[in-house]
Structure 1
Amino acid sequence: MDSAVEAALRTKIIEWIHQRAEANGGFLHRQELLAYRTGGRDLPLIDYSRGIRNPVDFASTLAIVQSAHGPYDDAESPEDGLLHYAYRKGDPDGGDNRKMRNAIETGMPLVLFRKETPNFYTPIAPVYVVDDVPEERAFLIALDESFRYMPDVRHLSEPQRRYALRLAKLRLHQPAFRMRVLLAYETRCAVCELKHGSLLDAAHIAPDSSDRGIPTTPNGLALCKIHHAAFDQQMLGISPDYVVHIDRALLDEIDGPMLRHGLQEMHGRALTLPRRAPDRPDRDLLAARWDTFVRGTA
């Protein structure tokens, strides 16, 4: 395939991935990725059984898959914020590894799919292969094209390292947290049960800036955008017994239907909880947040 044609096709694929993920709530199902078609032909975006997708007529790797095993990806270096993607097994100069190396030379963007739970993938795109580290038998994957132009990505300066770590939090950790939370709540708001994924957020109970604000499902709530904003602004509180409360001053206001139906009528409503008990909101975290809400409404 001509390089310009391949580049244009990648752009089309990445645009489609972002559109579908946004509609779903930030993630895609395995079957969607396997069923992708373009130009009248099948072009699966992930491999059926391997963690790398190298279409025959592509000169460079199209997509890679990483399985997450905790709140943070084990393959992401805590020191440099880059992804260390292991060589494919066998010949280090084999076809899969060769197409990864070619991506360094061509600068072709890749798609990184993070498999947070079976059959569901969070897409991060575009990402770039920026170096080959034979002594680690790994490639370095950057989340921003600017790393392609840095002279030595193995030894980042302190400002570059901080930038890489900020990118990792923004583009890896936050989408992963969102996916876990929305799937736990079956893509519906815990307060009003709105089921449109594009209108839902994963809200932190303990802020991610705090020591307790780790990106795990018990520290999250699936909330529609209005209830997320109300929760963050102390207009809506959730008690440790999973009951929704609206600020008393807000209950006395008279306004249009959004205030009446969207907020006031939620007062006293039981939270819609995940089916799995381990995914449900941590009561201690809710208690700390509840104290803040009560003090603000006193």
Structure 2
Amino acid sequence: MSWLDARPAVGVDFSWLSTFEYDGERIALLDRQRGIRKPRQLDAALAIRTTYTAPGQTPPYADAIGADGLQRYKYRGDNPQHSENVALRRAYLDRLPLIWFVGIGESLYEPIYPVWVVGDDPANLEFTLALDAAQRIFDPVSDLDRDTRRYMERLTKQRLHQRVFRSQVLQAYEARCSVCNLGHRELLDAAHIIGDGQPLGQPVVPNGLAMCKIHHAAFDNRILGIRPDDLTLHIRQDILDEIDGPMLRHGLQDMHDRKLMKLPRLRSARPDTTRLEQRYTEFLLA
């Protein structure tokens, strides 16, 4: 996991993950064919994988957040005694940390770590995952009060959904700000068109825009709007009338009536028109 901390940019592929070495021996961290990775040198699973699903497509496995706010991970097939399920169950029984590789593009993965298996449910063919150390202290089969469930779900979204959402959006926009074309990843965010928790607010690429931090803040604070019909930018009138320094002039005022400078190559990944219409209506009302 320390080796992964030094990974290049956002998203890693199988070739790079195959270069990991331990004690002079090369050990691939990801398996091309299997979702659960157990190297021959180990008794328990080392990593799990979720394949990339393109915008608008249905994922092959229905991994989801449970009623307790904890993430579920589906078994390999319908046999609890499949060797991959047994390997992941061993990690559960031995309380071992795992790496979760989540697909963000074709053959590209965002590693989430450490994660732990904290529950095993053969009846529903799924494991329960803790994505944060704080989640490990709760029993997933016990009844949790509403505030605790909301806390658990918030941790899950922060550790998994929002990180994967950012990686997927930046990948789709080739790490460029959609407004000004700035290309420094460390200065880029994945902006929601419709906020998390609202109808249509899912963390999916058509609900996202790659934006530098200044334009993301302007978008969230109703300073900058996007016209859904032609994708031109609309800067609020009081900001256009204001006199200040070069950031205001060139970073915001000069953007007025310009088109978005960067869009995904894949049409299904581009901003959803329905979401843009709703967001632009909110901008005009503000």
Q: TM-score range by the shorter chain?
A: 0.7 to 0.9
Fraction of identical pairs, as percent: 42
Residue 167 of structure 2 corresponds to 179
Residue 197 of structure 2 corresponds to 209
Equivalent position to 1:275, from 254, 265, 269: 265
- The one-letter code of the counterpart of 1:127 is V
Q: Would the aligned equivalents of 1:77 and 1:84 in 2 still touch at CA under 8 Å?
A: no
Deviation of the 1:231 alpha carbon: 0.8
Correspondence list, 1:84-99, <5 A: 84-87=73-76, 92=81, 94=83, 96-99=84-87
Residue 277 of structure 2 corresponds to 287
Equivalent position to 2:234, from 242, 245, 260: 245
Gaps of 5+ in 2: none
Deviation of the 1:158 alpha carbon: 3.1
- The one-letter code of the counterpart of 1:281 is P
- How far, CA to CA, are the matches of 1:58 and 1:85 in structure 2? 22
Alignment of 1:157 onto 2:144:
yes
Correspondence list, 1:67-146, <5 A: 67=51, 69=53, 74-80=62-68, 81-87=70-76, 92=81, 94=83, 96-146=84-134
Q: Would the aligned equivalents of 2:132 and 2:159 in 1 still touch at CA under 8 Å?
A: no
CA root-mean-square deviation: 2.9
Deviations 1:9-68 (A, max 9, x none): xxxx2x4434537x42xx333333233345554232211321122223334321100236
Residue 33 of structure 1 corresponds to 17
Q: TM-score, normalised by structure 1?
A: 0.80
- How far, CA to CA, are the matches of 1:93 and 1:278 in structure 2? 36
Q: Would the aligned equivalents of 1:82 and 1:164 in 2 still touch at CA under 8 Å?
A: no
Larger helix fraction of residues = 1
Deviations 1:102-129 (A, max 9, x none): 3223322111112243212122211101
Q: Would the aligned equivalents of 2:35 and 2:76 in 1 still touch at CA under 8 Å?
A: no
Residue 220 of structure 1 corresponds to 208
Change (3 A) 1:227 1:128: same
- How far, CA to CA, are the matches of 2:119 and 2:66 in structure 1? 18
Equivalent position to 1:259, from 240, 248, 259: 248
Q: Would the aligned equivalents of 1:71 and 1:214 in 2 still touch at CA under 8 Å?
A: no
- How far, CA to CA, are the matches of 1:209 and 1:147 in structure 2? 21
- How far, CA to CA, are the matches of 1:207 and 1:135 in structure 2? 35
Alignment of 1:17 onto 2:7:
no
Q: TM-score, normalised by structure 2?
A: 0.83
Between Structure 1 and Structure 2, how many residues are aligned?
278
Residue 33 of structure 2 corresponds to 49
Change (3 A) 1:38 1:270: farther
Deviation of the 1:244 alpha carbon: 1.6
- How far, CA to CA, are the matches of 2:86 and 2:106 in structure 1? 29
Gaps of 5+ in 1: 1-12
Change (3 A) 1:235 1:123: same
Deviation of the 1:153 alpha carbon: 2.2
- How far, CA to CA, are the matches of 2:95 and 2:27 in structure 1? 21
